[in-house]
Structure 1
Amino acid sequence: MSHFRCRDEICCPFAERKQRVEGRVHSRGGMLSSFRILRPAVQSWPRMHSTAAQGVLADKVALVTASTDGIGLAIARRLAQDGAKVMLSSRKQENVDKTVAQLRAENLNVKGTVCHVGKEKDREGLVVKAVEEYGGIDILVSNAAVNPFFGNILDSTEEVWDKILDVNVKATFLLVKKVVPHMEKRGGGSIIIVSSLAAYLPFPMWQNKNIENQLLAILGSHRIGEAQDCAGIVSFLCSPDAAYINGETVVVAGGSKSRL
């Protein structure tokens, strides 16, 4: 997870207008990124203590992409458990419907819509849906990503690079660009971008045989991580307790020893 904050004009790469910007970035199995946009003289998260019943994210609206399974689902569930109203999304309607029903059965305040983040119409629809249903956006968790190629990088094609950059990089920025104005209207917000551990840890060409043992050998915790291991830190970074944590990269990787 990475995390940054700027307080100058056009200091943040996602800022378009001259304004005070406060940003956080956090990064997958992984890493997280988050930033905050503030209007002048406005505090993003008031310093207050919520009751356990309210949750630390009470009255906040969270939008989570690729949130019907895996890390995205774990994050969406945790944010909702901590009081947020959560807009889920996935490329398939059946996955959205199933997950919404599952989380509502847990008495969590969630709704959902179809979104392929690589499509402009879907990104627009996701933001509009969140605003229409919940009245605004306070939190964006950009979890959607693709990895269409496995093997020697020298064997990858131009099409593979185009798809990765289009979905993982460009679409993420364009979604951030859409939510920031809505966050400004509510006095600020947090953006978390989930990324890959591969940014820090080079993975060898492992054989399928004993792959779990090979992975455990590089993890200080000596266990394979689970989706929910990424959820708590995301909720924390969106909470008032993390208001003064900025410009950091947080790696959720079981104590892996190697860094680029």
Structure 2
Amino acid sequence: MNVKEQFNLKGKVAIITGSSKGIGKSIAKALAEQGAQVVISSRSQEACDEVAAAFTDEGLKAVGIACHIGKEDQRKNLVNKTIEAFGRIDILVNNAAINPVFGPIEDVDPEIFDKIMDVNVKAPWSLSNLVLPHFQTNKKGSIINIASVEALTPGFGLGLYSTSKAAILMLTKNQAKEWGRYGVNANAICPGLIKTKFSAALWTNEKMLNKLEKSIPSGRMGMPEEMVGLACLLASDAGNYMTGGVYTADGGYMIAG
């Protein structure tokens, strides 16, 4: 098999959570461009349909299935509707996440703590469990968990988000260790500062952005489409021997010191 064929995802079906915008949308488009049939998912059915229609207009294969990943019934519905639409699931990208607070960890309301953990940790764990039987049927599958460089080093003001993303790294490693016997690979991608609506509080603060950009080797923030190369690798046969890995795409943030 040549390298072009190794990256070919024709016949594969991928669910990407939080894919109506930002990193999730960019990954979904890249997987579709590699031949996958993709499920666009976010809380708004309208937003999902809009993205799926735009992809379809470009000759890509996509459907929109709304899902609030914090709700178990909606997670089950997402998996069931995907099987109804495409008959199989090969790739799961756990991208959707929240960060409703910026400030000291001691100031966070316990209800907000629970909400962050429910969406950022419990939901990817649960959705992966729901998809596992379909991977077992195929004797193959790829889970790509989107974490963050905040999972690897503590910053200021993002303590609980960082904690939730650090949990995702260990979840990924356990999935890889326990599910390898089923032919399942699980890996995590840790983006740095990427220009999305999610991170707008950071990059719209000019002083903070200038300080950050001066400190990292690349000298700039990243763009959502710069996250897709790793995702395509990990989703494809080219990444068959990669599991339990944690990969940064951060412009050198982790070596900036």
The TM-score, its normalising length taken from structure 2, stands at 0.77
How far apart are residue 49 of structure 1 and its match? Answer: 4.1
Retained in 1: the 8 A contact 2:16–2:93?
A: yes
The answer for the alignment partner of 2:150 in structure 1 is 198
Kindly state the Cα deviation for residue 219 of structure 1 after the two structures are TM-superposed: 1.8
Q: Which ranges in structure 2 are unaligned for 5 or more consecutive residues? A: 158-201
1:226 aligned partner, one-letter code: M
Residues 87-109 of structure 1 show CA distances to partners (whole Å, capped at 9, x for unaligned) of: 11110111011111111111110
Q: Structure 2 vs 1, CA of residues 242 and 199 (structure 1 numbering), >3 Å: closer, same or farther?
A: same
Matched, 1:224 2:176: no
Superposed structure 1 runs of 4+ greater than 6 Å apart: none
1: CA distance, partners of 2:84 / 2:209: 45
How far apart are the structure 2 equivalents of 1:136 and 1:77? 19
SS in 2 for 1:191: strand
Determine whether 1:84 maps to 2:36.
Answer: yes
List runs of 5+ in structure 1 lacking aligned partners. Answer: 1-47
* RMSD value, Cα: 2.1
* Aligned residue identity for 1:136: R
Q: What is the rounded CA distance, in whole Å, between the counterparts of 2:241 and 2:153 in structure 1?
A: 28
How much does 1:157 deviate?
A: 1.3
Paired residue secondary structure (2:253): coil
More helix by share: 2
Structure 2 partner of 1:29:
none
Matches within 5 A, 1:22-41: none
The answer as to whether partners of 1:67 and 1:89 remain within 8 angstroms in 2 is yes
Aligned residue for 2:64, secondary structure, equals strand
Corresponding residue for 2:177?
A: none
For residues 206 and 20 of structure 2, the distance between their equivalents in structure 1, rounded to whole angstroms, comes to 30
Structure 1 residue 185 corresponds to structure 2 residue 182:
no
Aligned residues: 212
Structure 1 residue 158 and structure 2 residue 110: aligned? yes
Distance in 1 of aligned mates of 2:135 and 2:21? 26
Aligned AA (1:110): A
Q: Which has the higher contact order (CA 8 A, sep 6+)?
A: 1
Correspondent of 2:69 among 114, 117, 127: 117
Alignment of 1:75 with 2:20, yes or no, is: no
Which position in structure 1 is the counterpart of 2:11? 59
Between the aligned partners of 1:136 and 1:101, the Cα distance in structure 2 is 21
Provide the C-alpha distance between the structure 1 equivalents of 2:255 and 2:113, rounded to a whole number of angstroms: 25
- 2:238 corresponds to which residue? 241
- Match of residue 215 from structure 1: 212
Secondary structure in 2 matching 1:210: helix
CA distance in 2 between counterparts of 1:96 and 1:83 reads 19
